[in-house]
Amino acid sequence: MSPETLAQTSPTIAPVPVPTSEFDRAEFDRYVMSTYARFPLTLARGAGCRVWDTDGREYLDFVAGIATCTLGHAHPVMVEAVHQQIQTLHHVSNLYYTPQQGELAQWLVEHSCADRAFFCNSGAEANEGAIKLARKYAHTVLGIQSPIIITAHASFHGRTLATITATGQPKYQKNFDPLMPGFYYVPYNDLTAIESAIALLDSNEPQVAAIMLEALQGEGGVRPGDQSYFQRIREICTEKGILLILDEVQVGMGRTGQYWGYENLGIEPDIFTSAKGLGGGIPIGALLCKSFCDVFQPGDHASTFGGNPFACAVGLAVCRTLEESRLLENVQQRGEQLRAGLRSIAERYPHQVAEVRGWGLINGLVLNADAEITSSQVVGAAIEAGVLLVPAGLKVVRFVPPLIVSAAEIDQALAAVEKAFAVLSK
Ligand SMILES: Cc1ncc(COP(=O)(O)O)c(C=O)c1O
């Protein structure tokens, strides 16, 4: 089936009325800790690239659970995988072998540069695993006693203590110190800065154990990596024998039009991490590595839920659908269509919009630094116009629809964004 056909025939979107519940947002806030600034919207149902709120109003979902719902909502393949596995075997722990974990690892290895996989439940947890693996490699192979991992300004690697430390954004670290030792930050896409940092850190004795980067910075403002920068970093890591870790949590699993973000840069990492799109919305994360740096031994790392048959069966269904339905082609074509449409909106609103950037179906509409509007205001106006979008910082509006999105849905979203700008410009 061509991606075009698949997108048009993907889950039937029947405008079934959603029962209006007695849901009260104030009651919700009374019981749930307020760690999120939520938009005033209560969602009840989804199908394909659409969701409905509790009043039955329909929205195009160009957030997809923040680049997570690879196949959209209620995709028949996911529904089938969930049903099948929950009635067969859903969880037994890693004390035993389960076929689904092995099959998912095999798919990932056969469709990437990695040789081995470890499964966990989220992006932060996958990155924690990568940090531990790099530290053990430093101690046992490189002979470095206090290993340092270089990461980038404006990066995002998760919300655990190690991953907020790896994240080069002070706003995520404030009030959570003492942070973890062993991290050093450099500006992204700046070769001179990283070369100077390595020279400085290694001036007395080798300390740099790894470089950890996103192929495209998602949360940091949809900022694609430069090919020449990443290719030189690859060379530096190889020359020094240190590890190149890529965080593929947001950009992996087809989102950029390639299976993995690093394929856009013409390089291979030694270690990379995945989560978000891997389970299509069912929690799963993975740490993948080449065999030369697979220094973990029994007892080194573990996760109770990690790689259970339920999550792996769904992950496998998502991976196979990505491949068999040739969704990468759809991502490339729809991505081009979306960027072209956003660029013509940018031309009509030159005072507000500075730039459109991204790869495949992860794209950012960058607002002018001196424009009065913020990304949250654009997202608010877009919700009113019927499309869900997500900010990536104060001035970037992110578009990350399900990878099954159709040409008609892209056009509909563009019309809604145009409407949002018209309202905001009044
Ligand atoms: C690049 C990247 N790494 C890590 C994470 C953290 O993933 P999780 O929220 O699943 O822990 C995110 C989440 O946005 C991400 O974008």
Task: Kindly state the average pLDDT of the residues 243-256.
Answer: 98
**Residue pair 214/273 in contact by the 8 Å Cβ criterion:** no
pLDDT at 194 over 70: yes
Which class for 10: exposed (0-12), middle (13-18), buried (19 or more C-beta within 10 A)?
buried
- Is residue 358 within 8 A of residue 214, CB to CB? The reply is no
16 pLDDT band (50/70/90 cuts)? low
Inform me whether the pLDDT recorded for 388 exceeds 50: yes
Q: Catalytic residue among 118, 156, 296, 421, which?
A: 156
Task: Return the structure tokens found at 127.
Answer: 């990155």
Per-residue pLDDT, 315 = 98
pLDDT at 10 over 50: no
Mean pLDDT of the chain, nearest integer: 95
How many whole angstroms from 279 Cα to the centroid of ligand 1?
A: 14
Residue 15 confidence (pLDDT) above 70 = no
Q: For the residues 382-390, what does the mean pLDDT come to?
A: 98
Note the pTM of the prediction, 2 decimals: 0.95
Cβ–ligand 1 contact at 219 (below 6 Å):
yes
What pLDDT score was predicted for residue 22?
Answer: 73
Report which of 340, 331, 165 is spatially closest to residue 256, judged by C-alpha positions. 331
CA 415 vs. chain centroid, Å, equals 26
Ligand 1 centroid to residue 158 C-alpha, Å: 5
Confirm or reject: Cβ of 150 under 6 Å from ligand 1: no
Distance 313 CA to ligand 1 centre (A): 22
**Closest to 366 (Cα-Cα) out of 159, 223, 190:** 223
pLDDT at 4: 41
Residue 388, both tokens: 């869900």
Q: Are 316 and 81 in contact (CB under 8 A)?
A: yes
**Percent of the chain scored above 90 by pLDDT?**
94
Calpha distance 211→175 (Å, rounded): 26
- For the cut 70, the answer to whether the pLDDT of residue 5 exceeds it is no
pLDDT at 18 over 60: no
410 Cβ closer than 6 Å to some ligand 1 atom: no
State the fold for domain 3-75+326-424: Aspartate Aminotransferase, domain 1 (3.90.1150)
Cis peptide before 178 (omega within 30 of 0): yes
Q: Which of 25-29, 120-124, 409-413 is predicted with the least confidence, judged by mean pLDDT?
A: 25-29
Domain ranges in the chain are 3-75+326-424, 92-307
Banded model confidence at residue 319, pLDDT cuts 50, 70, 90: very high
Share of the chain above pLDDT 70, in %: 95
Residue nearest to atom 8 of ligand 1 (CA): 123
Q: Are strands 243-247 and 208-213 parallel, antiparallel or unpaired?
A: parallel
Identify whether 276 is a catalytic site residue: yes
pLDDT, position 20: 55
By the 8 A CB rule, do 391 and 377 touch? no
Closest CA to 52 of 18, 14, 12, 11: 18
Residues 226/266, Cβ–Cβ less than 8 Å: no
Q: What is the pLDDT of residues 201-230, one digit of tens each?
A: 999 999 999 999 999 999 999 999 999 999
Q: Which residues of 241-251 are buried (b: 16+ CB within 10 A; e: fewer)?
A: ebbbbbbbbbb
C-beta of residue 360 within 8 angstroms of C-beta of residue 366: no
Q: Which atom of ligand 1 is nearest to the CA of 66?
A: 14
CB of residue 311 inside a 6 A radius of ligand 1:
no
Query: Which of 3.20.20.70, 3.40.640.10, 3.10.180.10, 3.30.565.10 is the CATH number of 92-307?
Result: 3.40.640.10
Closest Cα to atom 16 of ligand 1:
250
- 39 touches 380 (CB < 8 A): yes
pLDDT higher than threshold 50 for residue 140: yes
Residue 2 has pLDDT above 50, yes or no: no
CA 336 – ligand 1 centroid, Å: 25
CB 300 within 8 A of CB 90: no
Convert 364-373 to b/e letters by CB count within 10 Å (16 or more is b): bbbbeeebeb
The model's pLDDT over 324-371, given as tens digits with 9 standing for 90+, comes to 999 999 999 999 999 999 999 999 999 999 999 999 999 999 999 999
Residues 296-314: tens digit of each pLDDT: 999 999 999 999 999 999 9
Average pLDDT over residues 71-75: 98
